[in-house]
Structure 1
Amino acid sequence: MGEIGSYSSATGLAVDGGPERPSRTASGVPARRRGWKCVLPGLLLVHCALLVWSAVRDSPTWDEPARLAAGIAHWKLRRFGLYRPNPPLVRMVAALPVLPWRPKMDWRVYGEGPGSRAEFPLGKQFVRDNRERFVLYHVLARLATIPFALVGMLVCLRWASELYGRSAGVVAVTLWCFSPSILGYGHLISPDTAAASLGLAAAYGFWRWLRQPSTFRALFAGALLGLAWLSKLTWLVLLALWPAIWAVAACSRSGRKVSRQVLAETLQLGLVILAGLWLLNACYFFDGTFTRLGEYEFVSNALGRHAGSSGHCSGVGNRFAGTWLGCLPMPLPKDYVMGADVQKHDFERKMSSYLCGQWKAGGWWYYYIYALLIKVPLGTWALVSLAAWLVLVTKRYVVSWFDELVLVAPALAVLILVSSQTGFNHHIRYVLPMLGFVFVWTSKVGRAMELGRHKLAMLVAGATVWSVASSLWIYPHSLSYFNEWVGGPRNGHAHLLHSNTDWGQDMLHLKRWLDKHPGAQPIGVAWYVPVMDPKYFGIEWTAPPRGLPARGMTMPDPESVGPLPGWFAISVNRIRAIDGMYRYFLRFEPVAMAGYSMYIYHITLEEANRVRRELGLPELAERGAGRGESQEQG
Structure 2
Amino acid sequence: MSKSSSIIQYGLLGLIVAAAFILMFNASLKESATMDELAHIPSGYGYVKYLDYRLNPEHPPLIKALAAFPLLFQKLNFPVQNRYWQKDVNGQWAVGAQFLYESGNNADEIIQWSRLGPMLLTLLLAIFIYIWSKELIGRWWAFLPTFLFVFSPTVLAHGHYVTTDIGAALGIFIALYYFIKFLFKNSRRNLILAGLAFGVAQLMKFSAVLLIPFFVFLLTVFYISKVYHDWNETAPKARLKRFSFRAVRYVKNLFLIFLIGYLLVYAAYFVFTINYPIEKQKSDTEFILSSFSVEQLAEINVWMSGNKILRPFAEYLLGVLMVAQRSGGGNTGYFMGEVSASGWWYYFPAVFILKEPLPSLILIGLALLLSIWQILKSKSYKLKAVINYLGLHFAEFSMISFVVFYWAYSIKSPLNIGIRHILPTIPFIYILIASAFKKWINSGATVIKSLLVAVLIIWYVGETIFVAPNYLSYFNEIGGGTKNGYQYVVDSNYDWGQDLKRLKDWTDKNLPAGRQIAVDYFGGGNPKYYLGDKVEYWQSAKGNPKYEGIDWFAISINNLQGALGQLHPGQSRNPEDEYGWLKEFRNPYQPDAKAGTSIFIYKL
- TM range, smaller chain: 0.7 to 0.9
Matched, 1:283 2:268: yes
CA distance in 2, matches of 1:438, 1:520: 52
Cα distance between partner residues in 1 of 2:258 and 2:359:
38
Which deviates the most, 442-451 or 589-598?
442-451
Q: Paired residue for 2:385?
A: none
Structure-2 change in CA distance of 1:30 and 1:457 (3 Å) = farther
Which deviates more from structure 2 when the two are superposed, residues 234-243 or residues 31-40?
A: 31-40
Q: Deviations over 1:538-597 (max 9, x none)?
A: 4543448766x6xxxxx9799739xx9833332111222233237536446334322211
Matched, 1:269 2:247: no
**Conservation of the 8 A alpha-carbon contact between 1:300 and 1:341:** no
Show the counterpart of 1:367: 347
Aligned-pair distance for 1:275? Answer: 1.2
SS of 2:157's equivalent in the other structure is helix
CA RMSD across the alignment: 3.4
AA matched with 2:60: P
Which residue is equivalent to 1:160? Answer: 133
1:354–1:425: 8 Å Cα contact kept in structure 2? Answer: no
The Cα of 1:191 is off from its aligned counterpart by: 0.9
Could you say which residue in structure 2 is the equivalent of 1:463?
456
Give the distance between the partners of 1:270 and 1:557, measured in 2 at CA: 63
Per-residue Cα deviation, 1:172-214 (whole angstroms, up to 9, x for no partner): 0111101111111111111111111121111111111122222
What is the match of residue 335 of structure 1?
315
> How big is each residue's C-alpha offset from its partner over 1:288-342, in whole Å with a ceiling of 9 and x where there is no partner?
89x9xx997434543237xxxxxxxxxx9548999xxxx9x98972111111222
Preserved CA contact (<8 Å) 2:344 2:416: yes
- Supply the distance in 2 between the matched residues of 1:72 and 1:30 (Cα, whole angstroms): 45
Pair 1:403 & 2:395 matched: yes
Per-residue deviation, 1:134: 1.4
Tell me what 1:309 maps to: none
Cα distance change of structure 1 residues 519 and 415 upon mapping to structure 2, 3 Å threshold:
same
CA distance in 2, matches of 1:477, 1:557: 30
Output the CA distance in 1 between the equivalents of 2:175 and 2:207: 13
C-alpha distance in 1, partners of 2:522/2:539?
Answer: 18
Report the Cα distance in structure 1 between the residues aligned to 2:508 and 2:273, rounded to whole angstroms: 51
User: Which amino acid counterpart does residue 459 of structure 2 have in structure 1?
Assistant: W
Taking structure 2 as the reference length, the TM-score comes to 0.82
1:207 and 1:521, CA in 2 relative to 1: closer, same or farther beyond 3 A? Answer: farther
Partner of 1:236: 209
1:509 matched to 2:496? The reply is no
Question: Helix, strand or coil: the match of 1:575?
Answer: helix
Change (3 A) 1:320 1:121: closer
Distance apart, 1:150 and its partner CA: 0.9
- Deviates further, 343-352 or 464-473: 343-352
Match of 1:148 in 2: 121
Question: Aligned ranges for residues 564-575 of structure 1 at < 5 Å?
Answer: 566-575=551-560
**More displaced, 489-498 or 98-107?**
98-107
Contact 1:181–1:479 under 8 Å retained in 2: yes
Q: How many angstroms apart in 2 are the aligned matches of 1:52 and 1:531?
A: 19
Q: Helix, strand or coil for the counterpart of 2:553?
A: strand
Matches within 5 A, 1:55-134: 55-107=28-80, 108-110=82-84, 116-134=89-107
- CA, structure 1 residues 321+40, in 2 after alignment: closer, same or farther (shift >3 Å)? closer
C-alpha deviations, 1:399-434, integer Å up to 9, x for none? Answer: 835322211222222222222221x42222222122
Aligned residue for 1:616? none
Counterpart residue identity of residue 556, structure 2:
S
Q: Give 1:169 shift.
A: 1.0
Change (3 A) 1:525 1:189: farther
Q: Do structure 1's residue 494 and structure 2's residue 487 form an aligned pair?
A: yes
Matched, 1:474 2:467: yes
Shift of 1:88: 0.6
What SS is found at the alignment partner of 2:521?
Answer: coil
Alpha-carbon shift at residue 520 of structure 1 (Å): 8.5
- Return the letter of the residue paired with 1:236: V
- Aligned to 2:517, the other structure's residue is in SS state strand
CA contact (8 A) 1:55 1:143 kept: no
Distance (whole Å) between structure 2 residues aligned to residue 59 and residue 247 of structure 1: 47
- Within 5 Å, give how 1:174-193 maps onto structure 2: 174-193=147-166
1:385 to 339, 347, 365: 365
Aligned to 1:62, what secondary structure does the other structure show?
A: coil
Q: What corresponds to 1:9 in structure 2?
A: none
Q: Deviations over 1:72-121 (max 9, x none)?
A: 111233222311111010111111111222321222334699x9431111
Structure 1 counterpart of 2:420, from 429, 438, 461: 429
CA contact (8 A) 1:70 1:82 kept: yes
Question: Equivalent residue of 2:17, what SS?
Answer: helix
TM-score (normalizing by structure 1): 0.78
Seq. identity, %: 25
Which structure is higher in helix share?
2
Structure 1 stretch displaced more, 440-449 or 458-467? 440-449
Residue 383 of structure 2 is matched in structure 1 by none
Alignment partner of 1:354: what SS? strand
Report SS of the residue matched to 1:60: coil
Structure 1 distance, partners of 2:544, 2:509, is 35
Structure 2 equivalent of residue 21 of structure 1: none
Distance 1:506 1:320 in 2: 40
Counterpart selection for 1:42 from 15, 27, 40: 15
Number of residue pairs matched?
548
Match of 2:568 in 1: none
Aligned counterparts of 1:164 and 1:361: Cα–Cα separation in 2: 43
Q: Contact between 1:112 and 1:118, CA under 8 Å: does it hold in 2?
A: no
1:261-283 CA distances to partner (integer Å, 9 max, x unpaired)? 44443332222111111111111
Distance 1:196-1:317 versus aligned 2 partners, 3 A rule: closer
Matched AA of 1:574: N
Closer, same or farther: CA 118–191 of 1 in aligned 2, 3 Å: same
Matched, 1:595 2:596: yes
Deviation at 1:37, TM superposition (A): 3.8
Is the contact made by 2:59 and 2:319 (CA closer than 8 Å) also made in structure 1?
yes
Q: Which moved more, 1:87-96 or 1:509-518?
A: 509-518
Shift of 1:358: 0.7
The Cα of 1:142 is off from its aligned counterpart by 0.5
Give the match's secondary structure for 1:568. strand
What is the CA–CA distance in structure 1 between the aligned matches of 2:179 and 2:588, rounded to whole Å?
A: 55
**Which amino acid in the other structure matches residue 382 of structure 1?**
I
Task: Give how far 1:220 is off.
Answer: 0.5
Residues 1:413 and 2:405 aligned together: yes
Match of 1:560 in 2: 547
- Where does residue 208 of structure 1 map in the other structure? 181
Please, which runs of 5 or more residues in structure 2 have no aligned partner?
235-241, 381-388, 564-576
Cα distance in 1, alignment partners of residues 291 and 404 from structure 2: 26
- Quick one: structure 1 residues 112 and 262, their matched pair in 2 at CA, closer, same or farther if it must change by over 3 Å? farther
* Local SS of the residue matching 2:142: helix
- CA 1:357–1:539 in structure 2 vs 1: closer, same or farther (change >3 Å)? farther
1:12 corresponds in structure 2 to none
What is the identity, as a one-letter code, of the residue corresponding to 1:573? N
Classify 1:543/1:111 alpha carbon distance in 2 versus 1 (closer, same or farther; 3 Å). Answer: closer
Is the CA contact (8 Å cut-off) linking 2:522 and 2:556 kept in structure 1? no
Give runs of aligned pairs for residues 2-17 of structure 1, distance below 5 A. Answer: none
The equivalent of 1:442 in structure 2 is 433
Corresponding position: 1:580 with 2:581: no
Native 8 Å contact 2:331 2:417 kept in 1: no
Shift of 1:345: 2.8
Name the aligned partner's letter for residue 83 of structure 2.
V
Q: Secondary structure at the match of 1:577?
A: helix
